[in-house]
């Protein structure tokens, strides 16, 4: 039972355009959500997070949106840069305990 | 700080052999996590420790898997006997608090291939 799903295994965008990565979850107990970025041969690194009391959190070029009623969150990257090419994982946690990760989405930003 | 250190980076072994993966967390971190990454299931939490004590091992797939944390600076994940379906990348991560306000810090991973 995959409680966190990223339905798009890959996404390709042009440099300078917006990248939108999506994530759906099923567990209503999740109240904290994170995005991680992973380059080849490296471990995932924390990117941005959002608490369920908010619907948006912004950090530079990265914005995470949370729609609790739809159990959906998305990561927007504007403008996209070739260095953003990586695998992006969304993750969710109930009350600050164990993280459940999605399958990941490979983002490719073309120059 | 050197970050989370994992060894070996790559391991190739034959089915039936024992495999031991090692992890050194970031100094001062009191939580340590073991994850497995596969194409089909993404990142799965296997087990995590708090102050060297296992808290939740519900993600450990079978009795063939075991994990220990004898002290605050070292942990092992052992698979005995190994099977081809155990082939995956295994990550160790640590954090200062279970409250993931800034996320966990991951090591570079160990790529395990069981033939």
Average pLDDT value for residue range A67-90: 97
- Asked whether residue B97 carries a pLDDT value surpassing 80, the answer given is no
Confidence of residue A96 (pLDDT cuts 50, 70, 90): low
3-state secondary structure of A40: coil
CB B89 within 8 A of CB B112: yes
Average pLDDT value for residue range B61-79: 95
DSSP letter string, chain B: ----EEE-SEEEE-TT--EEEEEEPPTT--EEEEEEEETTTEEEEEEEEETTEEEE-TT--STTEEEEEEETTEEEEEESS--GGG-EEEEEEEES-SS-SS-PEE---EEEEE-
State the Cα–Cα distance between residues A85 and B106, nearest whole angstrom. Answer: 19
Task: Return the pLDDT at B80.
Answer: 97
How close B18 gets to chain A, by Cα (Å)? Answer: 24
State the Cα–Cα distance between residues B10 and B110, nearest whole angstrom. Answer: 5
- Asked whether residue B93 carries a pLDDT value surpassing 80, the answer given is yes
- Asked whether residue B98 carries a pLDDT value surpassing 80, the answer given is no
Is A36 in contact with B103 (Cβ distance < 8 A)?
yes
- Asked whether residue A2 carries a pLDDT value surpassing 90, the answer given is no
Average pLDDT value for residue range B27-55: 91
Is A49 in contact with B101 (Cβ distance < 8 A)?
yes
Residue from B41, B49, B90, B103 whose CB has the most chain A CBs within 10 Å, to mutate = B103
Q: Which residue has the tokens 């999506």?
A: A22
Is B98 in contact with A97 (Cβ distance < 8 A)?
yes
The rounded percent of chain A whose pLDDT value lies above 90 is 88
- Asked whether residue B59 carries a pLDDT value surpassing 60, the answer given is yes
**Greater confidence, B40 or B110?**
B110
How close B48 gets to chain A, by Cα (Å)? Answer: 8
């Amino acid at each position: 039972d995959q409680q966190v799903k990223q339905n798009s295994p890959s996404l390709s965008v042009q440099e300078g355009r917006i990248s939108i990565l999506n994530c759906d979850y099923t567990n209503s107990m999740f109240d904290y959500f994170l995005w991680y970025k992973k380059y080849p041969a490296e471990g995932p690194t924390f990117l941005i997070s959002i608490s369920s009391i908010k619907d948006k959190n912004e950090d530079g070029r990265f914005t995470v949106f949370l729609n609790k009623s739809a159990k959906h969150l998305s990561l927007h990257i504007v403008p996209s840069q070739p260095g953003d090419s990586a695998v992006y994982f969304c993750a969710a946690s109930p009350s600050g305990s164990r993280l459940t990760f999605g399958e990941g989405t490979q983002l490719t930003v073309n120059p | 700080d050197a970050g989370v250190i994992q060894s070996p980076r790559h391991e190739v072994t034959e089915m039936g052999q024992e495999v031991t993966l090692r992890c050194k967390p970031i100094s001062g971190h009191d939580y340590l996590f073991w994850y497995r990454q596969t194409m089909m299931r993404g990142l799965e939490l296997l087990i995590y420790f708090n102050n060297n004590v296992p808290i939740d091992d519900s993600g450990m797939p079978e009795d063939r898997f075991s994990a220990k944390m004898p002290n605050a600076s070292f942990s092992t994940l052992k698979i005995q006997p190994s099977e081809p379906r155990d082939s995956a990348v295994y990550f160790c991560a640590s954090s200062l608090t279970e409250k993931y306000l800034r996320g966990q810090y991951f090591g570079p991973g160990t790529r395990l291939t069981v033939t």
